[in-house]
Structure 1
């Protein structure tokens, strides 16, 4: 009898478990449908619109774009006048990015392209976070943080990185799906295609991102005994990458700009100088902004916070890559501008994503214990005393202060200079602006007398500096405008004395030289 009683007890337990499993499956199915309906499209649209307004529309309308971004916009217009990308214009980003600038001619229509990129970037960022952590509410909070950061870090510059985000995170969504359920090898061909598209928009950031996900996948597959799957995934992704890389790369090679394109890709590393006069300014400016964003705390969490292996394999390489990119900024000799910090954004987002505490026992259990998990907003914003908000406000406010309070005369003189250029030169003439105000070319509808539109941009290697000097000697621009605050190289001083004569003006900052 005891045996029969035991059998009946086991039978009842099995039946009870079956009923509970069916109820859980039904509840999970209901939750999945509810979550599909609850996808935050409204948040995506509003966030993309606000971020586009601050990062693109206001800077373009009020002439507040960074010097490097102004050069990109100039190339988008100048390409219509002839010449080849990379060989005629110094292009520091990818071909697809400049094609989009060419289509929009570097005008306000480019804001629509940026809006679509932010919409797609937010969509795939949310999907990746949901796959990787299972915390849908915190994924929504990450979306809000993302659009706030873009509004500040992307104010007036960094548009190439923003355009690359939807492709970077579209590819990462496949990786996140695999890490959360490593029983398939789906999507790796498309992963390679997306990464190739991002490479031809923003090459350097994409290479760093590729390094992060490659290291993460390798460590994950080795740790889970799936090395053979990792080899297959690598070749599938490489095939997808080559489907885009070879046709586009062949076009660049055929146009004669391959060497220049490779040089511009390596320039941030080739131009590094550990002991340069700008080092302390960089450390104070970029260092304080990075600290205010709470990024160093996120790096600490990425390296030392206890988390699931699928999160850890991403957070560790993302932390080291973040520090490397920050070092590139600190040792750079390019002009200071807050939008240059946009380079750290993809890795900052990965660190934010992996700092979310996902659970191990299934979606339903995670939802039941959600109140025990500290929210991302509380950890990132309140944990950093809302300094990230202060940093964003600072990055938006400083250009307004510079434009309307500190340097109003400089901006008014720019418009006077543009009028003078139009009056004293014809449409086919070339000019040169010895200043960082590259937008003068586009406003005056005149081409630059060199592939380097400003002596302050990308000229910190001897090769590029010599190229600029040779361009000025060979092309002999009809007019050269020199800002008194920008040091003139000795070779250029000699050129001005021999071939140009100074024109008397009432400008307080600019000197005008016309060819003899």
Structure 2
């Protein structure tokens, strides 16, 4: 039974009650028990193979760790630091959620980060399976669903080469909640399952706070949907179930913050810093250009405009509203973040592909049991621009190897020297845009903010880093000459440290006098 048919059935029930002169009561809910029987079988093997391939290319792979970006290296450092007994937010600055750092800790057991690659495989597999379910439902074609699933993973690889970032780990709960809502609009979900919806929302907040926008938009759409269909009592019950699911996870994971006494710092660094909006930071127009170019090359901009123009068709209206509003809101959220990185665009993939599917979805009058077979090419629908986006798959490793090759070698040279001339318990500091020196030397940072870039965009962070470094707890300080240093910190380094001549050009190593 489709969304339109459900609405018509409820309207008829209401009309009969009115004509019969009876007091108006909520119509009995007739669940669409046949919904699951009419779905295409889910293919798991494409998601399994793609997840294996993408996870093999993760920077958690010890052979590829030198390809880690600044953000990825800081996440790898988090795992190393937690294995050494440190806590996120308190002993090192963290913008990911509490649960993300717990996963990072688990994935870094046995003095290796290979566990993170395994966790990434699980995350990508779940996300891919539910993406296929959604694609097969809207398109009613296994061929189209498989085609789009391939592009789903290609886009992940292009935007987040190397993986292991919070924006990637949140994908499974986004996909599962989106699938739950799609089934609800077809009246195929009982209200009790909204406990899972609340659990997903809590997991999302505690992995990557920026992703919570989806649940905020969906909640508003659900409110309108329930009001329109005169089922506000169900809405209240769903809200209670959602709150229960949310609290079930938040209390369980939040217990860790109480034990470690980092609740206040966690709120400060994840909610206030990560969710802060800034419309006047330097480089904002460059961020606008990156987000806009991605929307154009991915084809999402074209599908967004087509979806907006297709509202008159009356198909999958509520799913369409959720996808459009979340896509626009998430794009604006990323643009107004003063520490945007390309990997955050992964958050747009679920909604962008849903918009493509909604525009391509066959007419509701087609028999649900009939599989639609048609020639379909996603690049063709977007003027072959997604093929250009695929170049990003090769761009990051190429830049690391050719452009930053000398800098990478110097980091290795300095890290080896530090490891050979210091004890395991001694602290160091890397005034750099990467945490590679910590990872290679296996030494911890002398400051809570482990790299000045990109965190010195607030006055409080500048004061915190300056205060930590002026304690002079670092045995060594490695300085990247291309990363600007405040005069007060530079004067302290000149007074308290002396240069170590290692023949490096872009990095300078200082040892405490």
Which residue of structure 2 aligns with residue 303 of structure 1? Answer: 308
Q: Distance in 2 between matches of 1:101 and 1:477?
A: 25
Structure with greater helix percent: 1
- Residue 292 in structure 1 maps to residue 289 in structure 2: no
Cα distance change of structure 1 residues 51 and 312 upon mapping to structure 2, 3 Å threshold = farther
Of residues 462-471 and 496-505 in structure 1, the stretch that sits farther from structure 2 once superposed is 496-505
SS at match of 1:507: coil
- Residue 209 in structure 1 maps to residue 207 in structure 2: no
C-alpha contact (below 8 Å) 2:95/2:274 kept by paired residues: no
Measure how far apart 1:203 and its partner are: 2.3
- Residue 97 in structure 1 maps to residue 92 in structure 2: no
Q: Distance in 2 between matches of 1:331 and 1:174?
A: 30
Which residue of structure 2 aligns with residue 12 of structure 1? Answer: none
Cα distance change of structure 1 residues 174 and 340 upon mapping to structure 2, 3 Å threshold = closer
Measure how far apart 1:430 and its partner are: 0.7
Deviations for 1:439-471, whole angstroms, at most 9, x for unmatched residues? 210210100111211100333111122111112
Q: Distance in 2 between matches of 1:62 and 1:82?
A: 22
Structure number with larger C-alpha Rg:
1
Which residue of structure 2 aligns with residue 419 of structure 1? Answer: 416
**Residue among 270, 274, 294 paired with 1:268:** 274
SS at match of 1:514: strand
- Residue 46 in structure 1 maps to residue 49 in structure 2: yes
Q: Distance in 2 between matches of 1:308 and 1:101?
A: 46
Cα distance change of structure 1 residues 277 and 160 upon mapping to structure 2, 3 Å threshold = closer
- Residue 225 in structure 1 maps to residue 223 in structure 2: no
Which residue of structure 1 aligns with residue 6 of structure 2? Answer: none
Measure how far apart 1:406 and its partner are: 2.1
Of residues 280-289 and 411-420 in structure 1, the stretch that sits farther from structure 2 once superposed is 280-289
Which residue of structure 1 aligns with residue 147 of structure 2? Answer: 141
Which residue of structure 1 aligns with residue 441 of structure 2? Answer: 444
Which residue of structure 2 aligns with residue 497 of structure 1? Answer: 494
Q: Any residues of structure 2 matched to 1:174-213 within 5 Å, and which?
A: 174-181=180-187, 184-205=190-211, 207-213=212-218
Which residue of structure 1 aligns with residue 383 of structure 2? Answer: 385
Measure how far apart 1:130 and its partner are: 4.2
Which residue of structure 2 aligns with residue 65 of structure 1? Answer: 68
- Residue 474 in structure 1 maps to residue 477 in structure 2: no
Of residues 432-441 and 170-179 in structure 1, the stretch that sits farther from structure 2 once superposed is 170-179
C-alpha contact (below 8 Å) 2:431/2:452 kept by paired residues: yes
Cα distance change of structure 1 residues 59 and 169 upon mapping to structure 2, 3 Å threshold = farther
Measure how far apart 1:73 and its partner are: 0.9
Which residue of structure 1 aligns with residue 430 of structure 2? Answer: 433
Q: Distance in 2 between matches of 1:433 and 1:317?
A: 43
Measure how far apart 1:487 and its partner are: 0.6
Cα distance change of structure 1 residues 432 and 189 upon mapping to structure 2, 3 Å threshold = same
Q: Distance in 2 between matches of 1:212 and 1:384?
A: 27
Deviations for 1:166-204, whole angstroms, at most 9, x for unmatched residues? 222223322221111268434111221232223222222
| TM-score calculated relative to the size of structure 2 | 0.85
SS at match of 1:187: helix
Q: Distance in 1 between matches of 2:492 and 2:59?
A: 38
Measure how far apart 1:309 and its partner are: 5.4
| TM-score calculated relative to the size of structure 1 | 0.84
- Residue 319 in structure 1 maps to residue 317 in structure 2: no
- Residue 258 in structure 1 maps to residue 256 in structure 2: no
Which residue of structure 1 aligns with residue 364 of structure 2? Answer: 360
Which residue of structure 1 aligns with residue 355 of structure 2? Answer: 351
Q: Distance in 1 between matches of 2:274 and 2:162?
A: 20
C-alpha contact (below 8 Å) 2:61/2:114 kept by paired residues: no
SS at match of 1:432: strand
RMSD (CA atoms) = 2.8
Cα distance change of structure 1 residues 185 and 333 upon mapping to structure 2, 3 Å threshold = closer
SS at match of 1:346: helix
Measure how far apart 1:498 and its partner are: 2.8
Measure how far apart 1:69 and its partner are: 1.6
C-alpha contact (below 8 Å) 2:416/2:440 kept by paired residues: no
SS at match of 2:114: coil
SS at match of 1:63: helix
Measure how far apart 1:502 and its partner are: 2.4
Measure how far apart 1:71 and its partner are: 0.6
C-alpha contact (below 8 Å) 1:193/1:241 kept by paired residues: yes
**Mind listing any 5+ residue stretches in structure 1 that lack a counterpart?**
1-27
C-alpha contact (below 8 Å) 2:295/2:301 kept by paired residues: yes
Cα distance change of structure 1 residues 332 and 190 upon mapping to structure 2, 3 Å threshold = closer
**Residue among 244, 248, 258 paired with 1:243:** 248
Measure how far apart 1:506 and its partner are: 1.2
SS at match of 1:482: strand
C-alpha contact (below 8 Å) 1:117/1:166 kept by paired residues: yes
Cα distance change of structure 1 residues 57 and 89 upon mapping to structure 2, 3 Å threshold = closer
Which residue of structure 2 aligns with residue 16 of structure 1? Answer: none
Q: Distance in 2 between matches of 1:174 and 1:219?
A: 17
Cα distance change of structure 1 residues 352 and 257 upon mapping to structure 2, 3 Å threshold = farther
Deviations for 1:316-344, whole angstroms, at most 9, x for unmatched residues? 3432332333234334433x743232232
Of residues 280-289 and 400-409 in structure 1, the stretch that sits farther from structure 2 once superposed is 280-289
Q: Any residues of structure 2 matched to 1:115-134 within 5 Å, and which?
A: 115-131=121-137, 134=140
SS at match of 2:471: helix
Q: Distance in 2 between matches of 1:91 and 1:486?
A: 21
C-alpha contact (below 8 Å) 2:131/2:149 kept by paired residues: yes
- Residue 339 in structure 1 maps to residue 343 in structure 2: yes
Q: Any residues of structure 2 matched to 1:400-415 within 5 Å, and which?
A: 400-415=397-412
C-alpha contact (below 8 Å) 1:48/1:115 kept by paired residues: yes
Cα distance change of structure 1 residues 217 and 140 upon mapping to structure 2, 3 Å threshold = farther
